[in-house]
Amino acid sequence: MFNPVPSMDRDYSVNTGAQQRNRVLRNTYWLLAISLIPTVLGAWLGVATGITQSLGGGLGLVLFLGGAFGFMYAIEKTKNSAAGVPVLLGFTFFMGLMLSRMIAMVLGFKNGPDLIMTAFGGTAGVFFVMASLSSVIKRDLSGMGKWLFVGALAIMVGGIINVFVGSTAGMMAISVAAIGVFSAYMLYDLKQIVDGGETNYISATLALYLDIINVFQSLLALLGIMGGERD
């Protein structure tokens, strides 16, 4: 005799899984949008007070790495509790503060505000393209993870070295590589959510935020080097 129960259970499971993925994606987008507010506040505070202007070279690097990895560790520890969102927003404020030094330098150009808006628009465009691709690509992209991690690690090491070398050509090469790697990471992280590989929206937001901030910072650095107009 035909038994419809297994089929009904399977359909219910599929629908439940789709609902969960949509909920995670929706919450991630909302939290990602909210996280930009502390970033802007941190950047504004840094530019207005000049508090980060003295944080060049090794001191700035140590403070940035220590603060960033400390916050990321705390976010992972609190992602399943009520403290997860405030800790994440604290991290985005910190990142805005650290970004303010570069923003202040770009604002020193005659066309500085235009360069910042161009970098913002370019980053938004990359995110839109990757979000669209993540919804139509059916192929499993989980295998990209290890290669992207190696690429990100190489960029970080190169960036640390260039802090002490101070090479403009090196900064341009690192920025181009970072735009490529973190744009691909954006697609990878979005696909993880769409496919159900990431079920915690705080972790998902952290991953996408890091992708976005790295693309924006790299675009801004390139625009400043190549298109900055002195008075």
Domain ranges, ordered by start, for the chain: 5-227
Answer whether 101's CB lies under 8 Å from 46's CB. yes
- Give the chain's mean pLDDT: 87
Report the distance separating Cα 151 and Cα 184, nearest Å. 10
As given in the structure block, the two tokens for residue 2 are 């035909």
Angle at 212 (CA atoms; ends 158, 89), nearest 5 degrees? 110
Query: What's the full length of the chain, in residues?
Result: 231
Q: Residue 116: how many CB atoms within 10 A of its CB? A: 21
Alpha carbon dihedral 66, 47, 207, 69, in 10-degree steps, equals 0
Q: What is the pLDDT of residue 12?
A: 45
Answer whether 111's CB lies under 8 Å from 230's CB. no
Q: What is the pLDDT of residue 15?
A: 58
How much of the chain, in percent, has pLDDT values that exceed 70? 91
The 10s digit of each residue's pLDDT in 197-213 is 888 999 999 999 999 99
Backbone angles phi, psi at 195, to 5 degrees: -85, -5
What average pLDDT does range 90-111 have in this prediction?
92
* Cα–Cα nearest to 225, from 138, 166, 160, 164: 166
Q: What is the pLDDT of residue 119?
A: 95
Tokens 């090491």 correspond to what residue? Answer: 157
pLDDT band with cut points at 50, 70 and 90 for residue 142? confident
pLDDT band with cut points at 50, 70 and 90 for residue 1? very low
The 10s digit of each residue's pLDDT in 31-43 is 999 999 999 999 9
Tokens 């949008």 correspond to what residue? Answer: 33
Answer whether 220's CB lies under 8 Å from 106's CB. yes
CA 220 vs CA 50, 67, 124: distances in Å: 19, 22, 13
Report the distance separating Cα 131 and Cα 136, nearest Å. 9
Q: Which helix (H) or strand (E) holds 107?
A: helix 84-107
CA 174 vs CA 157, 166, 180: distances in Å: 10, 12, 10
pTM comes to 0.88
Tokens 């150009």 correspond to what residue? Answer: 109
Q: What is the pLDDT of residue 16?
A: 65
Q: What is the pLDDT of residue 6?
A: 55
Q: What is the pLDDT of residue 9?
A: 52
| Per-residue pLDDT at 226 exceeds 90 | no
Longest dimension (CA), the chain: 85
Report the distance separating Cα 223 and Cα 172, nearest Å. 10
